[in-house]
Amino acid sequence: QELFYFDELSPGSCFFLPHGARIYNKLMNMIKNEYFERDYNEVITPNMFNIKLWETSGHAAKYKENMFLLDIEGQEFGLKPMNCPAHCMMFKHRKRSYRELPIRLGDFGVLHRNEISGALTGLTRVRRFQQDDGHIFCMVPQIRDEVAGVLDMIATVYRYLGMSFTLKLSTRPKNALGDPETWEKAEKYMAEALDEFTAKTGQSWALNPGDGAFYGPKIDVQVFDALKRPFQCATVQLDFVLPMRFDLKYTTRSATTAGAAGDPSVVTEERPVLIHRAVLGSVERMMAVLIEHYAGKWPFFLSPRQAMVVPVSPACEDYAKAVQKKVRKAGYYVDIDESHRTLNKMVRESQLAQYNYILVVGREEEANETVNVRTRDNQVHGVKSIEKLIAEFAELERNHTLDGFMDKTGS
């Protein structure tokens, strides 16, 4: 399908060809639309930081050997392997109030991880990649609602993709950092969010005691493709440690009876909780999973080849180009077969190339400004006006329709 390739001159870094880039961008745009609906703010952060940042975050001690490091004017810098420290910097760059929380940040920044060459495996293990990386800064009592919101986003996106998943709550390990009482509250709120999700969707969850990260409890999300193979893509992780390491604080107004004035309000500071979350995870890895999941038959809303216009003869080529122009202007990927072979051969090759729809045009269609529609699975939808075709394409995209359930009635 000519989606991507790798080259030894840049090991572990994918070259996305035009059709692959179309899918990549559609996946990211799907997440961006969810961000807009769910009050996230997308940010852009630098690719390279002084090693001091990674010393503050703790990654220099635990992750330095997996980073690409550079010497710049006698100082050590590193390409970022994750976005969370930069988002902590953003939170800290000015005073924050409890009124601002929760703060939801999304970042598609390019990440680099220095995987050993023997570990590189196609799109599933790379050195250069992007994530639908999100971080939520919130107060402890907001954990339940924020986790519930993330679970709803995960369910929504994987419903679009036609994939099932399981959920496990991993709780406080022996090497946990942070206040035990805060851990207990956080686990309680996460369990309540999961129970709420179960009540809403009917999907159960399991407890995984003692398997949380040292910095906070987490929900492990295991995704299954069409062949029921499991993949770890989405994640929801609470973090008490990074807010401590970066000394993140927000101001809150609380009442106190101290002081000669009687009952004044005083300003205090508290530390936020950080929620790391991803839905697709690495976009590269998700593309690899979806290539197998769909077996190359991309649903219309993700397809890099949405329609092929097939003129029945050279005399109809000008009308075919007019159809292409009109459908492309509406925002869809449409090509023309100008080979002038037999109609059956052109239709069959378009189907084998996995074009979702084949639009056959002849003299009759030109006279009526219509197209004759069939699918890659050879379902004949018959004659439609171009306006109705575009309206139905819009509905397929808007509803994230997995198969071509186009209206089979005519124009």
Q: Which helix (H) or strand (E) holds 284?
A: helix 283-294
Nearest to 2 by CA among 28, 32, 26, 23: 23
- Around Cβ 203, how many Cβ atoms within 10 Å? 15
Q: Is 379 a catalytic residue?
A: no
Q: Is 84 a catalytic residue?
A: yes
Compute the C-alpha angle 57/59/64, nearest 5°: 150
The catalytic position among 80, 87, 112, 113 is 113
Cα–Cα distance, 190 to 172 (Å, whole number): 12
Q: What separation in angstroms does the CA of 201 have from each of 153, 205, 407?
A: 13, 11, 29
The catalytic position among 131, 142, 306, 324 is 131
- Classify residue 234 as left (phi > 0), alpha (psi -120 to 50) or beta: beta
The catalytic position among 80, 96, 135, 271 is 135
Q: Is 195 a catalytic residue?
A: no
User: What token pair was written down for 154?
Assistant: 């995960």
Cα–Cα distance, 106 to 24 (Å, whole number): 17
Q: Is 276 a catalytic residue?
A: yes
R_g of the chain computed on alpha carbons: 26
The catalytic position among 107, 133, 225, 239 is 133
Q: Is 88 a catalytic residue?
A: no
Cα–Cα distance, 75 to 70 (Å, whole number): 8
The catalytic position among 22, 59, 80, 84 is 84
Cα–Cα distance, 260 to 262 (Å, whole number): 5
At a CB cut-off of 8 Å and minimum separation 6, what does 296 contact?
A: 1, 354
Angle in degrees, 0-180, between the axes of helices 386-398 and 317-329, rounded to the nearest 10: 40
3-class state of residue 204 by DSSP = coil
Q: Is 407 a catalytic residue?
A: no
Cα–Cα distance, 294 to 373 (Å, whole number): 22
The catalytic position among 144, 172, 276, 376 is 276
The catalytic position among 59, 127, 218, 293 is 218
Cis peptide before 85 (omega within 30 of 0): no
Q: Is 113 a catalytic residue?
A: yes
Active site residues: 84, 113, 131, 133, 135, 218, 276
